[in-house]
Amino acid sequence: MNNSTQINKKEYVISDELEKFGEDTISEKQMTIIPAKIKYVLVYPAINKKTAGRCMLSNPMTKLFGKCDYIIQMSGDLWDQLDETRRKILMWHELLHVFPVENSKTGEFNFRLRDHDVKDFYTIIKECGIDWFQDIKTMFSSVYDIDPAQLEGFGL
């Protein structure tokens, strides 16, 4: 079931498909992110003019109402155009930002965002090469009709 909300000319869709993709990626890559709770949102037409995907740390209000520790957003029109391979890499990239750290004294978890090892994550570069990012950037400029030169600072 997808739940959609219109805010400031953008449509935010809580996506079961995206959640399944995330869960499958966590399982396939054997990622250790427990006990983090993640919500997955497609943003139409896009998050912004320079962002394909984003992992956000929940603030106190998001935790209260959304009952999650992280939100992974994907630019909807781009996501809809990507093939399964690129979707997997993009989701993997965003999930690598999830970084729960256990407090050794209390046993409670502090939720943080992991930074890139380099301009990406080394594990993705090692397995997929470095061209995947340029492919996403090229597709992004095509889907949103943006001059690639304007994508300086394009990020994930």
Q: Residue 109 is encoded by which pair of tokens?
A: 């978890």
Tell me, yes or no, whether 14 lies in a domain: yes
pTM: 0.87
pLDDT higher than threshold 90 for residue 79: yes
Domain contains 153: no
Residue 18 included in any domain = yes
Residue 109 inside a domain? The answer is yes
pLDDT value at 84 more than 90: yes
Identify the burial level of 34 via C-beta atoms within 10 angstroms of its C-beta, where 0-12 means exposed, 13-18 middle and 19 or more buried.
exposed
**Cβ–Cβ contacts within 10 Å for residue 22, how many?**
23
The 10s digit of each residue's pLDDT in 85-110 is 999 999 999 999 999 999 999 989 99
Instruction: Assess if residue 154 is contained within a domain.
Output: no
Per the domain annotation, does 151 fall within a domain? Answer: no
- 138: domain range? 3-145
In a domain, 69, yes or no: yes
150 in any annotated domain: no
- Structure tokens that stand for 153 in this block: 């600072």
Number of domains in the chain: 1
